[in-house]
Structure 1
Amino acid sequence: MSNLETSLQTPPKRLDLTAGYDVERVRQAFPILAETIYGKPLIYLDSAATSQKPQAVIDAMSRFFLKENANVHRGVHFLSVRATEEYEKARAKVQRFLNAEHVEEIVFVRGTTEAINLVAQTLGKTQVHAGDEVLISAMEHHSNIVPWQMLCEQTGAHLRVAPIDDAGELLLDELERLIGPRTRLVAVAHVSNVLGTINPIQRIVELAHARGARVLVDGAQAAPHLRLDVRALGCDFYALSGHKMYGPTGVGVLYGRRELLEAMPPYQGGGDMILSVSFEKTLYNKPPYRFEAGTPNMAGAIGLGAAIDFLGELGAEAIAAHEQTVLSYAQQALAAVPGLRLIGTAPEKVGVLSFVLDGIHPHDIGTVLDREGIAIRTGHHCAQPLMQRFGLAATARASLGCYSTEQDIDALVTGLAKVRELFQ
């Protein structure tokens, strides 16, 4: 028996956090954090781009391929039945994670991008017409801009943009003013991937629903940091990506209220989204299967379920408290770096720190830090309109996860001192 098979037969170790949040114990759950880069310990500060994966997620996906691999919903043999059970267990875990009312409201997709495109090309095409309006905010990721631009081009609708202030906060009065009688949908990020700003989703939903508009929330950056409750938020749709929340890439979720999903046409055609097919007519399956054409990412869904278990073990409140402590430390430490300017200073934010250094291109910052073993993100972060709002082409961005420490921030500050020595 291989070492891997032996490890998979051993029940996963639970993190003992009874004495409080122990970040060093949390870090031990992530094998990659023991790696070295150019001979130096890895300092991973790019979790907003993709989070690292705990051993429990890696093991869950390995176990599927070793012990359960078969197609779901299609076979009567043992492996297919087992795979289907595990796949649907993962769906139920997502339902509980989001506090959705019905498991049928959980659609597996490739990620937040596909979830938003799905809504744009189904509900959008049936309920948005010439002269109607779709409202977004100035802090959106391209994935929550481009699908609505495409829809507006296809239908003759208009895209409206709610502004933000210099701190990176949404101007709620302006957003309310922009919700008019022709507004059919409001699509807004729960958390900005550039600024870290947490938007007041409940209030936005109240304003939109009062005018008869639907609300889609891009939750990609919120899922790893906040406790989510779609019923409390009141939104009509919520989208998230597994790889941002310690799960695998290539899998995500669209939550949609059941009555809306039932009224929406299919997004793609193929296997598993049908009840019957003839050359004359096809009858479509019920949600969520109506929107899951083809063989799904079964291992990805199971890995996402394992990530949700892991997050539940840590506790949303404990994660948030730890990250806020590190964020506060980082804000003070970076504010003391000569020539550094933070972009995004809203009082309500998660651990995302975008910044610029006077006279030094962000790509140069990232390259020098990389040689020190420090991984950050540089560029426009798929948010070019937001960059333009601040008069920038790019920023450097350090982003935190459940495994981030104050020592990581110290290393970043030391690395930035080396950047300044080289370029000034």
Structure 2
Amino acid sequence: MTAVLSARPGVCAPASVTGADLRVPLVTGEHVRYANLDLAASAPALTAVADHVADLLPYYASVHRGAGYASQVCTGVLEQARETVGRFVGARADDVVVFTRNTTDALNLLAGCVPGPVLRLDVEHHANLLAWRSGRVLRAAGTIERTLADLRHALRTDRPALLAVTGASNVTGELLPLAEITALAHAAGARVVVDAAQLAPHRPVDIGATGIDYVALSGHKLYAPYGVGVLVGRRDWLDVAAPYLAGGGAVNAVSGPDEHGAAEVSWAPAPHRHEAGTPNVLGAAALAEACRVLPGALSPDHEATLLHHLETGLRSIPGVRTLRIWSDSTDRVAVTTFVVDGRPAGLVAAYLSAEHGIGVRDGKFCAHPLLARVAGSADGGAVRASLGLGTSLDDVHRLVDAVDRLVIDGPGWDYAVVDGRWSPVPDPRDADPLGIGTPTGPARPGCGH
């Protein structure tokens, strides 16, 4: 059965993604190829991932202890997925792979296992800023060199149990030197968890080589948008902590309950200790397939070329400013965030979508403390363009040209804030192309890791 559900090289190009030829309507009535430059928020499925899930669907059944053939197949797929994801992040032999819903879920799970305070920087996504129950938030300095010096001092004085850092900023794409940071933390007796949601879709992650203790990431950032994330790392904290959720699948045995409703429970060790309930088998299989395909598809040099053209083009436009955290950073993934003088970020994003068929992100990207420092715009928000598999140089040029036209001529349509978001007025585009009905009421504020 392994052969039936294994990766199938040759079925599609490793870098092909679903929706690559999607055409979207403009307010002018035209249809154009969609330029998806919002990959840092959520990435489309790799074609290989979608095909793998389709192959698995006929076998979908319960896992663990099921006697049926399909159940045994799915159990094997789930447990093999752990091994595949572990290899993808360079897990050590005794590390645990726990499936979660996403990066936020993984970090909150770990928060319940940490036996002490947590130190983190103020540049973090809210998932890695708010999950921790105690500890301190350290303001990042204007250079990486100074930030490392401040971290070294804080580690020695605060004596945290854990240092939580981002692998790549979801706002600017800038990378921190993870091996050096891990060495600083270990020297102070602290462990390190890396939020790799933005790093893993662009660069190899090797926790064994760097010494990182825990890593968290999301399938929906990794071209496997099937509702699964993962926490990978050292077993000891996970084995003694209270289960993340109490329920079936997380126990070895239950006796009772007595007349007071209490029961004697023997909890399973990790990973099952923290995976109560029916697991997301399809999501785990999708993530594992992405982890098999991605190493051969990633091209940091190609992304660097696209990023260079994007930043050079944006900086050539009067009144456009790209954002950075550290003046001495030299390594980045393909994420650029910018502001346009005199134009609210939401208006810029709505214009790019409605008049040019370009998808970007606007707002504060669930990194409010960081945006408050670096955006310098009237509304405190910015526009983010994020590149990845399937992004072409034409997509980059389309964005630069569209922003240039906005600055020179202004929008060609009327826009207003509707239900809390900038929108074209009127908007003649079909809001329900799938025929499932349109939502009512104000939209929930978007986040985007």
TM-score by length of 1: 0.87
Match of 1:358 in 2: 341
| Pair 1:387-2:387 in alignment | no
Deviation at 1:140, TM superposition (A): 0.2
The match for 1:42 among 34, 37, 41 is: 34
| Pair 1:164-2:164 in alignment | no
| Pair 1:410-2:410 in alignment | no
What's the CA shift string for 1:195-241, capped at 9, x where partnerless?
11111111111111111112111110001111110011211111000
Q: Which has the higher helix share?
A: 1
Cα distance 1:296–1:9, how it changes in 2: closer, same or farther (>3 A)? closer
Match of 2:123 in 1: 139
Q: Which moved more, 1:258-267 or 1:228-237?
A: 258-267
Letter aligned with residue 141 of structure 1: H
Q: Is the 8 A contact 2:352 2:402 kept in 1?
A: yes
Letter aligned with residue 148 of structure 2: L
2:191, 2:317 → 1: CA distance? Answer: 44
The match for 1:220 among 190, 197, 200 is: 197
Cα distance 1:140–1:10, how it changes in 2: closer, same or farther (>3 A)? closer
1:394, 1:198 → 2: CA distance? Answer: 22
1:204, 1:384 → 2: CA distance? Answer: 24
| Pair 1:177-2:160 in alignment | no
Letter aligned with residue 289 of structure 1: H
> Residues 103-142 of structure 1 correspond to what in structure 2 (within 5 A)?
105-123=96-114, 127-128=115-116, 133-142=117-126
1:110, 1:169 → 2: CA distance? Answer: 35
Match of 2:417 in 1: none
Letter aligned with residue 80 of structure 2: K
1:337, 1:169 → 2: CA distance? Answer: 31
Secondary structure of 1:50's counterpart equals coil
Secondary structure of 2:296's counterpart equals helix
| Pair 1:307-2:284 in alignment | no
> Residues 71-86 of structure 1 correspond to what in structure 2 (within 5 A)?
71-86=62-77
Q: Is the 8 A contact 1:104 1:288 kept in 2?
A: no
Match of 1:343 in 2: 323
Match of 2:437 in 1: none
Q: Which moved more, 1:268-277 or 1:251-260?
A: 251-260
Match of 1:19 in 2: none
- Structure 2, unpaired ranges of 5+: 26-30, 257-262, 413-449
Question: Percent of aligned pairs with the same residue?
Answer: 36
Cα distance 1:310–1:103, how it changes in 2: closer, same or farther (>3 A)? farther
Secondary structure of 2:161's counterpart equals strand
1:412, 1:91 → 2: CA distance? Answer: 39
1:75, 1:14 → 2: CA distance? Answer: 32
What's the CA shift string for 1:308-339, capped at 9, x where partnerless?
1220332x4xx212111111121211111111
Deviation at 1:94, TM superposition (A): 0.4
Match of 1:57 in 2: 49
Secondary structure of 2:351's counterpart equals helix
Secondary structure of 1:34's counterpart equals coil
Secondary structure of 1:32's counterpart equals coil
Cα distance 1:213–1:103, how it changes in 2: closer, same or farther (>3 A)? closer
Match of 2:19 in 1: 32
2:383, 2:284 → 1: CA distance? Answer: 32
Instruction: State the superposition RMSD in angstroms.
Output: 2.1
Cα distance 1:171–1:11, how it changes in 2: closer, same or farther (>3 A)? closer
1:164, 1:349 → 2: CA distance? Answer: 18
Aligned positions, number: 388
Letter aligned with residue 100 of structure 2: V
1:225, 1:103 → 2: CA distance? Answer: 26
| Pair 1:239-2:216 in alignment | yes
Q: Is the 8 A contact 2:168 2:199 kept in 1?
A: yes
Cα distance 1:99–1:11, how it changes in 2: closer, same or farther (>3 A)? closer
Q: Is the 8 A contact 2:204 2:295 kept in 1?
A: no
1:169, 1:57 → 2: CA distance? Answer: 40
Q: Is the 8 A contact 1:215 1:237 kept in 2?
A: yes
1:174, 1:270 → 2: CA distance? Answer: 43
What's the CA shift string for 1:255-278, capped at 9, x where partnerless?
121233333332111111100011
- Structure 1, unpaired ranges of 5+: 1-7, 17-24, 153-157
Q: Is the 8 A contact 1:322 1:402 kept in 2?
A: no
1:134, 1:101 → 2: CA distance? Answer: 23
1:207, 1:96 → 2: CA distance? Answer: 25
| Pair 1:399-2:386 in alignment | yes
1:36, 1:170 → 2: CA distance? Answer: 47
Match of 1:207 in 2: 184
Match of 2:305 in 1: 325
Cα distance 1:416–1:192, how it changes in 2: closer, same or farther (>3 A)? same
1:41, 1:169 → 2: CA distance? Answer: 43
Q: Is the 8 A contact 2:168 2:174 kept in 1?
A: yes
Secondary structure of 2:410's counterpart equals helix
Secondary structure of 1:341's counterpart equals strand
Secondary structure of 1:238's counterpart equals strand
Letter aligned with residue 193 of structure 1: N
What's the CA shift string for 1:75-129, capped at 9, x where partnerless?
0110100011111111111011011123751110101101110111222xxx12x
Deviation at 1:135, TM superposition (A): 1.2
